[in-house]
């Protein structure tokens, strides 16, 4: 099955054979033996190419699942003696990725010489299944799905502005006061989510500066360009050292969020994934952003 997977990945019997140290004839014989065992033809083969049959399309994800289970069993025992191993694939938003994930995985790699790490940082949503991601860090209100989400730490949204901006503009006191202020917006977010009188409300926002990334809005806010709606994690340090000031409204509060670790499945979770999540939760709660000590798991994406 591993050889079959390699043939599909490389598109060639000879290339798969080179990876496995086998001749093309030996690869062909093993593939034929697999097809005989499962009772169907898995690949169309010509002198120049190979392609999955309809049965091969059905068999491929089953083969991957069985190989992952085998690898998980092997890792569970080898890691008792040799530490974490294999490739840990993580995606995260840019700011939390650079500030928290990078130092954490560098430490894990130093402690586990056999561990490899593949990082993808993006503020948008990455498809876990299509990208082969083990863990996705998300700051969002999660919707029900087949994915599994583990709550790491609370991370509410906060209205904030630089002291220089507030020195020349009266701080808003009510939600409607935002209409008179320069609000810094993201391209994909022209309305800000609040809770008012116990009900969710989307406040339409306008301003002279819009950006495509949280980093840019964050920098513009520090520079005194206006009021931003960012998460507590994004501005914890700036609030602590008074680079930014929180803006509190009398009649509304921003939406409450959390930082989640999203997993494609609970089954066959490698030790490297479990250890990464445990270390990440400890690291986030050590930083000045732990609003709540509650932690829970549930479905969501």
Cα separation, 296 vs 301, in Å, equals 14
> In the prediction, which pLDDT does 277 show?
93
> In the prediction, which pLDDT does 72 show?
65
CA angle 26, 30, 32 (to 5 degrees): 115
Cα separation, 287 vs 214, in Å, equals 20
Q: Taking a C-beta distance cutoff of 8 angstroms, is the pair 285, 293 a contact? A: yes
What predicted TM-score, i.e. pTM, was given to this entire model? 0.61
- The number of helix segments (H) and strand segments (E) in the chain equals 11, 16
Q: Taking a C-beta distance cutoff of 8 angstroms, is the pair 133, 89 a contact? A: yes
- How many other CB atoms are there within 10 angstroms of residue 20's CB atom? 15
DSSP at 99: I
Cα separation, 113 vs 111, in Å, equals 6
Cα separation, 42 vs 225, in Å, equals 60
Burial tier of 267 (Cβ tally within 10 Å: 0-12, 13-18, 19+): exposed
CA angle 237, 228, 176 (to 5 degrees): 135
pLDDT tens for the chain, 301 residues long, are 888 888 888 888 888 888 888 888 898 899 999 999 999 999 988 777 788 999 988 988 888 778 777 766 666 555 555 678 889 999 998 888 888 899 999 999 999 999 999 999 887 777 776 667 889 998 876 655 556 888 898 888 999 999 999 999 999 999 999 999 999 999 888 899 999 988 999 999 988 999 988 889 999 999 999 999 998 888 888 998 999 999 999 999 998 888 899 987 766 678 899 999 999 998 888 765 433 333 333 434 4
Cα separation, 291 vs 196, in Å, equals 21
Residue of 87, 135, 80 whose CA lies nearest to 114: 87
Return the C-alpha torsion angle 246, 96, 144, 272, nearest 10: -150
> In the prediction, which pLDDT does 233 show?
80
Q: Taking a C-beta distance cutoff of 8 angstroms, is the pair 235, 210 a contact? A: no
> In the prediction, which pLDDT does 292 show?
34
> In the prediction, which pLDDT does 70 show?
73
> What is the SS3 assignment for 112-158?
CCCEEEEEEECCCCCCHHHHCCCEEEEEECCCCCCCEEEEEEECCEE
Q: Taking a C-beta distance cutoff of 8 angstroms, is the pair 6, 19 a contact? A: yes
> In the prediction, which pLDDT does 1 show?
86
SS3 category, 255? coil
- 138-164 exposure pattern, b = at least 16 Cβ within 10 A, e = fewer: bbbebeeeebbbbbbbbbbbbbbbbee
């Amino acid at each position: 099955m591993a050889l079959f997977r390699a043939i599909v990945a490389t598109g060639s019997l000879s290339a798969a054979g080179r990876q496995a140290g086998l001749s093309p004839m030996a690869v062909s014989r093993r593939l034929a033996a697999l097809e005989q065992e499962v009772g169907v033809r898995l690949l169309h083969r010509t002198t120049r190419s190979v392609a999955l049959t309809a049965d091969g399309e059905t068999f491929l994800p089953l083969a991957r699942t069985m190989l992952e289970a085998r690898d998980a069993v092997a890792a569970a025992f080898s890691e008792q003696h040799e530490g974490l191993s294999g490739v840990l694939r993580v995606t995260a938003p840019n700011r939390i990725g650079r500030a928290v994930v990078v130092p954490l995985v560098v430490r894990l790699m130093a402690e586990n010489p056999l561990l490899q790490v593949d990082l993808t940082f993006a503020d948008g949503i990455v498809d876990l299944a299509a990208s082969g991601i083990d863990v996705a860090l998300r700051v969002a209100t999660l919707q029900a799905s087949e994915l599994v989400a583990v709550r790491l730490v609370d991370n509410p949204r906060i209205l904030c502005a630089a002291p220089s901006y507030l020195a020349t503009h009266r701080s808003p006191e009510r939600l409607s006061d935002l209409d008179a202020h320069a609000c810094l917006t993201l391209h994909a977010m022209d309305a800000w989510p609040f809770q008012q009188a116990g009900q969710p409300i989307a406040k339409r926002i306008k301003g002279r500066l819009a950006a495509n990334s949280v980093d840019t809005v964050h920098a513009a806010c520090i520079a005194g360009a206006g009021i931003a709606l960012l998460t507590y994690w994004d501005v914890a340090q700036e609030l602590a050292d008074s680079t930014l000031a929180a803006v509190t409204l009398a009649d509304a509060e921003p939406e409450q969020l959390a930082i989640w670790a999203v997993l494609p499945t609970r089954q066959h979770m490698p030790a490297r994934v479990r250890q990464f999540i445990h270390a990440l939760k400890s690291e986030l709660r050590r930083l000045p952003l732990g609003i709540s000590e509650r932690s829970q798991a549930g479905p969501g994406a």
